[in-house]
Amino acid sequence: PGGNGRPPCRIRIAPDRCPHSATPMPVVTVTRRMHFNAAHRVHNPALSDEENTRLFGKCNNPNWHGHNYILDVSVRGPVDDRTGYVLDLGALKKIVEERAVNLIDHKNFNLDVPFMRGVIPTSENIVVGIWRELEPAIRPGQLVKLVMWETPNNYVEYTGE
């Protein structure tokens, strides 16, 4: 025995943590990066064409424009005793594909994406819409942050607030 009535620990599932330890598992954030392409027009139908052009510039192009988006999905939770994972990143990839990427990749946010219907498709609104699709499906762990890059210079972050 290891002096405490338990056998010595030979397999560690986390640093300084044996499977039979009373110490809580460390809480870790894991992130999966996903890519998608989509088109949109930033346009508020309640405003005049002139006001839309003034506010949104080239993003208000009536013939749409598109982006190659990068989406980082971060999930936080305790490291599982059995697997050593917070969440299997392959399982997270599948959730993100089914609940978001497959619905928006090579689509038009204004016309083709049900969760964006009636919403001005700014990056801010898109990331909130994606959050609402993903958050109920992510278990174990908790969705804690989405980072969505619209261009190499512009990104938005959302933490569910």
Marked catalytic residue, from 20, 106, 124, 157: 106
Q: Are strands 27-40 and 107-108 parallel, antiparallel or unpaired?
A: parallel
In sequence order, the 6+-apart residues with CB closer than 8 A to the CB of 81 are 13, 19, 25
Q: From CA 79, how far away is CA 57, in angstroms rounded?
A: 47
Closest CA to 42 of 30, 21, 31, 57: 57
**Does 150 participate in catalysis according to the annotation?**
yes
In sequence order, the 6+-apart residues with CB closer than 8 A to the CB of 149 are 69, 70, 71, 155
Marked catalytic residue, from 40, 43, 133, 150: 150
**Does 43 participate in catalysis according to the annotation?**
no
Marked catalytic residue, from 18, 40, 43, 59: 59
In one letter, which amino acid is 65?
H
**Does 59 participate in catalysis according to the annotation?**
yes
In sequence order, the 6+-apart residues with CB closer than 8 A to the CB of 47 are 55
Residue positions annotated with a catalytic role? 59, 106, 150
